[in-house]
């Protein structure tokens, strides 16, 4: 699919945000960067990314840092079966972190993302 075709699909659902995952998006950082820039340009969607690499590693490499700069939340680190924890939100093992990427890049070190669910009106 082209970036334009993917963007067409993304813009069809005004409520869904975007998650980069599967394999590892950082192995194809240039392609994902093109898509992330289009998402930023054409929507107000939040971008999450799952990567087996750590934030510290990704920010040091030019091609992955460029993609990192477009991501809102990074779930970093490899899944480790012996650290599996089904009670964790958005991650599978306790070594993985939820990183607030924008704040972390500004600070120069990882700042954890704090999930705040929307209140449900009944």
- The whole-number pLDDT of residue 118 equals 76
Q: Both ends of the chain: CA-CA distance in Å?
A: 41
- The whole-number pLDDT of residue 32 equals 96
Q: Who's near 57: CB < 8 A, 6+ residues apart?
A: 64
- The whole-number pLDDT of residue 97 equals 98
For residue 51, give the nearest of 22, 72, 92 by alpha carbon. 22
pLDDT in tens, 90-118: 999 999 999 999 999 999 999 999 998 87
- The whole-number pLDDT of residue 83 equals 98
- The whole-number pLDDT of residue 78 equals 96
Q: Which residues of the chain have pLDDT under 50?
A: none
Q: Does this model's pTM top 0.85?
A: yes
């Amino acid at each position: 699919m082209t970036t334009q075709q993917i963007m067409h699909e993304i813009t069809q659902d005004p409520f869904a945000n975007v998650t980069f995952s599967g394999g590892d998006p950082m192995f194809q950082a240039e392609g994902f960067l093109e898509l992330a820039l289009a998402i930023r340009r054409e929507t107000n969607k939040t971008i999450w990314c799952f990567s087996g690499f750590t934030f510290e590693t990704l920010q040091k490499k030019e091609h992955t840092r460029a993609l990192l700069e477009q991501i809102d939340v990074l779930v970093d680190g490899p899944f480790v079966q012996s650290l599996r924890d089904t009670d964790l939100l958005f991650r599978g093992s306790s070594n993985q972190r939820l990183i607030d990427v924008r704040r972390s890049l500004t600070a120069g070190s990882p700042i954890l993302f704090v999930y705040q669910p929307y209140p449900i009106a009944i």
